[in-house]
Amino acid sequence: MNRQCSLLLAVLALSVTVAMPLPVSAALPAMIDGQAMPTLAPMLERATPAVVNIATESRVALRNNPLLDDPFFRHFFNIPDQPRQRRTQSVGSGVVVDAQRGYVITNHHVVEGADTITVTLSDGRQLDAKVIGSDPESDVAVIRIPNGNLIALPLANSDRLRVGDFVVAIGNPFGLGQTVTSGIVSALGRTGLGIQGYEDFIQTDASINPGNSGGALVNLNGELVGVNTAIIAPGGGNVGIGFAIPSNMVSRLMNQIIAHGSVQRGQLGVSVQDLTPELARAFNIPANQGAVIAQVVSRSAADKAGLREGDVVLRVNDRPIRDGSGLRNAIGLLEVGASVQLEILRDGRPLTIKAKVGEYVPVKTEGDDLNPRLAGAIFEDIGPSSPLAGKVQGILVARVESGSPAAQAGLRSNDVITAINRQRVSSTNELRRIAARSNSLVINLIRGRGELLLVLR
């Protein structure tokens, strides 16, 4: 089993919290030897009402044998009409972040493709919600519920988190009802896991299980420091490695989603790679972390600002850059037109360069225009600012509609197609040329850290 198989997005289970009265004799003493007993209860009494349950329902088209679509065949064999769709239900959690306007943060995968969304508050109220917008690349979505007696969680500055800080995860694991677990921040800035396009995870050992996704990770002040998103779970349950999207990243994405309905991701127009010890020696520079600019796109924002190949980016807007993924995240979270200050090393000399983030418009192609077997999928060129740039050559499957021919054939969002009918492809134009003239398709693709072969006839 490859490592990607162990990276499971945590799917939340909707359940009803049951309050069981404790016998008086079971109460703990308030003090022992004159010292107050430490407890998180006062903080949790303020924080838990802001964490909500989310239930979604959607309709998925069923794929029937073509013979079942023939009325004469059904009549001859006395086959009743078959349903064309089936209803699916999924559950998740969210966090109220704006009580006045009714905004709730959750994961994109929790509400993706939902026809109806029902939010259940901690006091038992059930409210209909609508999607304001979402960003599949970061797995962040914003939904809205009617305001009125809502409680919101304040957002903390996640840049101030340190490894070893105490944190608390709030969610609904395995449908048990609202559950609180505690732990510490195990690591910061986790990237390269293949879970999302833009990764900058907080790692924690606070128990996160299937059912916690979209829930809150809070500090001991009851402030939101992250949104629980994924776990490493070889056995299907918690092993002490969970991941949350930092609150600062969530805040920036949320503001764009509320303003535009989506994230208008900017770009500098560069291809980057990690600064390895070998490259540092080759460039004769003392830095041991940063991002090396491998290519500058002509007439791009980077080109206009004066960036050059071989420049080493150390900081963006005063934030340290550890590697290429860090630079892509820092730029990709900025709005188009935003000013950015980069601290770089050029030939060993420190420089400060100011640039204005440009718009990234990837080349996209709909599968319906390529081949009927690919209908329902959207394919996208891997641009210079993509997290995949420089790591893999191929075409990104940007989206797959649930129940479509492409989905039934086995394609999934974030797959990377590397070859069609034994011919390497690196652009949607090459994909169009091969797929349009083929009756059957043999697709080589990368999914996470594994490779797959699909045959579409």
pLDDT of residue 115: 87
Residue 24: inside a domain: no
94 shares its domain with 237: yes
Sorting pLDDT into bands at 50, 70 and 90, what band is 148?
confident
128-134: average pLDDT: 94
**pLDDT digits 0-9 by tens, 23-60:** 433 445 566 666 677 899 999 999 999 999 888 887 76
Residue 376: inside a domain: yes
200 shares its domain with 225: yes
Q: Calculate ∠ Cα 205-388-186, nearest 5°.
A: 15
Residue 452: inside a domain: yes
Could you list the residue range(s) of the whole structural domain that residue 283 is in? 266-359
257 shares its domain with 381: no
134 shares its domain with 244: yes
Residue 417: inside a domain: yes
pLDDT of residue 175: 67
Q: Which of 13-27, 232-246, 264-278, 359-373 has the lowest average pLDDT?
A: 13-27
Residue 87: inside a domain: yes
Give the domain CATH number at 377: 2.30.42.10
pLDDT of residue 70: 59
79 shares its domain with 169: yes
217 shares its domain with 87: yes
Sorting pLDDT into bands at 50, 70 and 90, what band is 11?
very low
Range picked from 23-27, 64-68, 262-266, 347-351 for highest mean pLDDT: 347-351
Tell me how far CA of residue 200 lies from CA of 70, 224, 319, 377, in angstroms. Answer: 52, 16, 13, 27
Residue 18 reports pLDDT greater than 50: no
Tell me how far CA of residue 359 lies from CA of 191, 267, 314, in angstroms. Answer: 24, 6, 23
Residue 242 reports pLDDT greater than 70: yes
Sorting pLDDT into bands at 50, 70 and 90, what band is 110?
confident
Residue 243: inside a domain: yes
84 shares its domain with 218: yes
Residue 35: inside a domain: no
Q: Which of 120-129, 159-168, 181-190, 279-288 has the lowest average pLDDT?
A: 279-288
| pLDDT > 90: percent of the chain | 32
Residue 9 reports pLDDT greater than 50: no
**pLDDT digits 0-9 by tens, 335-349:** 888 899 999 998 888
Catalogue the active-site residues. 109, 139, 213
Give the domain CATH number at 237: 2.40.10.120
pLDDT of residue 100: 93
365-393: average pLDDT: 80
Supply the pTM of this predicted model.
Answer: 0.68
Range picked from 102-111, 393-402, 444-453 for highest mean pLDDT: 102-111
pLDDT of residue 86: 66
Q: Which of 41-55, 64-78, 125-139, 440-454 has the lowest average pLDDT?
A: 64-78
Number of domains in the chain: 3
**Residue where one domain finishes, among candidates 326, 359, 392:** 359
121 shares its domain with 228: yes
**pLDDT digits 0-9 by tens, 410-429:** 899 889 999 988 888 888 88
351 shares its domain with 372: no
**pLDDT digits 0-9 by tens, 168-218:** 999 877 767 788 999 999 999 887 777 777 788 999 999 888 778 899 999
Residue 378: inside a domain: yes
255 shares its domain with 392: no
| pLDDT > 70: percent of the chain | 83
**Residue where one domain finishes, among candidates 245, 261, 277:** 261
59 shares its domain with 204: yes
pLDDT of residue 300: 84
- 3-class SS letters over the chain: CCHHHHEEECCECCCCCCCCCCCHHHCCCCEECCEECCCCHHHHHHHHHHEEEEEEEEEEECCCCHHHHCHHHHHHCCCCCCCCEEEEEEEEEEEEEECCCCEEEECHHHHCCCCEEEEECCCCCEEEEEEEEEECCCCEEEEECCCCCCCCCCECCHHHCCCCCEEEEEECHHHCCCEEEEEEEEEEEECCCCCCCCCCEEEECCCCCCCCCCCEEECCCCCEEEEEEEEECCCCCCCCCEEEEEHHHHHHHHHHHHHHCCCCEEECCEEEEECCHHHHHHHCCCCCCCEEEEEECCCCHHHHHCCCCCCEEEEECCEECCCHHHHHHHHHCCECCCEEEEEEEECCEEEEEEEECEECCCCEEEHHHCCHHHCCEEEEECCCCCCCCCCCCCEEEEEECCCCHHHHCCCCCCCEEEEECCEECCCHHHHHHHHCCCCCEEEEEEECCEEEEEEEC
**Residue where one domain finishes, among candidates 261, 284, 316:** 261
pLDDT of residue 268: 86
pLDDT of residue 173: 76
250 shares its domain with 279: no
